[in-house]
């Protein structure tokens, strides 16, 4: 047979590059690759969580060991003694805070008694004082009352049995109601 002419070239024309043939993926390959990736990521996460859990457990064990070591450094009897002393100090503070210091009353009368007035009797019950006294005049007695009222410590001032004595002085009884806060112990 003679050579028959062929319309299909035997080689590619110059300047043209021949493309390799593409292999088509089947849809089954896509359904296998995606679950494999998800499974791999799941294993990596599970492994990370497992290792982190181990790390935390070791850290807790180390901290517990340090705590036991530090607790061992303290002496239990010393801690108990210091706790007892602390409670006693707090109780003493409470007692002192409620302690009444009556000597403040005498300091008060020393500071707020008029120079011309004198007192002959004195009684004090913790909140009120009753005094018997005499003054050279009603004016001196009025000045004495103003001194007591201006002190800021007296709540009430009552005068009774007011009258002239045989000596010409004014006799009186005076009742003073104190603000009890001045009698509290103040360190």
pLDDT tens digits for range 148-178: 888 888 888 899 998 888 888 999 999 988 8
Domain residue limits, the chain = 103-183
User: 174, exposed or middle or buried, with CB in 10 Å at 0-12, 13-18, 19+?
Assistant: buried
Tell whether the model's pLDDT for residue 96 goes beyond 60.
Answer: yes
pLDDT at 9: 62
pLDDT at 74: 76
The whole-angstrom separation of Cα 164 and Cα 135 is 10
- Any idea which architecture 103-183 has in CATH? 2-Layer Sandwich (3.30)
Q: Is this model's pTM higher than 0.85 or not?
A: no
Among the residue ranges 2-6, 45-49, 92-96, the one predicted with the least confidence is 2-6
182 or 63, higher pLDDT:
63
User: 111, exposed or middle or buried, with CB in 10 Å at 0-12, 13-18, 19+?
Assistant: exposed
Of the pLDDT bands very low, low, confident and very high (cuts 50, 70, 90), residue 26 is: low
Tokens (6 digits) for 140: 């001196």
21 or 33, higher pLDDT:
33
Query: pLDDT over 90 for what percent of the chain?
Result: 32
């Amino acid at each position: 047979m003679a050579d028959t002419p062929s319309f299909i070239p035997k080689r590619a024309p110059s300047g043209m590059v021949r493309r390799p043939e593409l292999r088509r993926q089947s849809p089954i390959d896509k359904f296998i690759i995606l679950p494999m990736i998800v499974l791999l990521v799941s294993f990596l996460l599970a492994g990370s969580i497992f290792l982190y859990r181990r790390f935390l457990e070791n850290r807790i064990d180390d901290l517990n060991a340090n705590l036991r070591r530090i607790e061992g450094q303290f002496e239990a009897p010393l801690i108990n003694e210091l706790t007892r002393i602390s409670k006693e100090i707090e109780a003493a503070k409470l007692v002192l805070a409620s302690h009444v210091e009556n000597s403040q009353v005498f300091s008060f009368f020393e500071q707020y008694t008029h120079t011309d007035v004198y007192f002959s009797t004195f009684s004090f019950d913790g909140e009120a004082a009753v005094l018997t006294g005499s003054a050279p005049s009603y004016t001196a007695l009025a000045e004495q009352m103003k001194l007591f009222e201006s002190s800021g410590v007296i709540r009430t001032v009552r005068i009774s049995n007011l009258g002239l004595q045989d000596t010409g002085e004014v006799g009186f009884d005076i009742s003073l109601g104190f603000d009890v806060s001045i009698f509290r112990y103040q360190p």
